[in-house]
Amino acid sequence: MAPSSQHKPNDPPASGARSASDPLDVEAILSGDRRAFEHLVRKESPRLFRVIVRIIRDDDEAQSIMQETFLQAYQRLDTFRGDAKLTTWIYAIGINQARAALRKKRRTNPMEEADMERLQPSFNKGMYAEPPKEWDPQKMAERSERQRLVREAVDQLPENYRTVVILRDLEELSTAEAADILGISEGATRVRLHRARKALRSILASHFEDRAT
């Protein structure tokens, strides 16, 4: 970096000195300005990495998917249409690559649509066919055991359901942002999230129900 003595007083700070909290210059990024793009990379890397690693559950693979994502995004900037935020568009690229990679390497057999259906509550004339049983606080008390059950339950979900849970419930994105990333409508996003949460509730209920009642 240039020694500060060469700085004229009115110079803007050098790009390298930008802090992660500085706003993105979307216009400069779209014009292909590498410094502006690299500012976005610095700013978004930790969060994008976290989302991808949650999907793929492998640090090394997540890092390489993230790098490819930024490269693809940079090379395809001219296809960005501006109907979503630039960052949302980049997340969509990364998340879709992570999903494709996951489908290829899936270690355990995820549930199928029929299993998801079986885990939905059923109704008879608008009433619960089996009213929910209370959960036993004692069965929920052991923290590490509880977390293990939850992690296993989330991991069992089919990939498209798991991804919506990661985006909405873990990353706390809005329905609109999640819908943009998944390329489906907001209504379809809500339906998928709801089915995923209902299935998770059923799986947890099988562990937590107070059998005495």
Question: Contact residues for another protein (CB under 8 A)?
Answer: 34, 38, 41-42, 45-46, 49-50, 53-54, 59, 62-63, 66-67, 70-71, 74-75, 121, 123, 125-128, 131-132, 134-135, 146-147, 150-151, 154, 165, 169-170, 175, 190, 193-194, 197-198, 200-201, 204-205
- HEC profile of the chain: CCCHHHCCCCCCCCHHHCCCCCCCCHHHHHCCCHHHHHHHHHHHHHHHHHHHHHHHCCHHHHHHHHHHHHHHHHHCHHHCCCCCCHHHHHHHHHHHHHHHHHHHHCCCCCCCHHHHHHCCCCEECCEECCCCCCECHHHHCCHHHHHHHHHHHHHHCCHHHHHHHHHHHHCCCCHHHHHHHHCCCHHHHHHHHHHHHHHHHHHHHHHHECCCC
Q: Least distance in Å: CB of 126 to another protein?
A: 3
Q: Least distance in Å: CB of 188 to another protein?
A: 12
Q: Least distance in Å: CB of 10 to another protein?
A: 28
- Give whichever of 89 and 94 is closer to another protein, judged by the CB atom: 94
- Give whichever of 34 and 106 is closer to another protein, judged by the CB atom: 34
Q: Least distance in Å: CB of 106 to another protein?
A: 19
- Give whichever of 85 and 128 is closer to another protein, judged by the CB atom: 128
Report residue 6 as tokens.
């060469």
- Give whichever of 88 and 198 is closer to another protein, judged by the CB atom: 198
For the chain, how far is it from start to end, CA to CA, in angstroms? Answer: 71
- Give whichever of 74 and 80 is closer to another protein, judged by the CB atom: 74
Q: Least distance in Å: CB of 91 to another protein?
A: 15
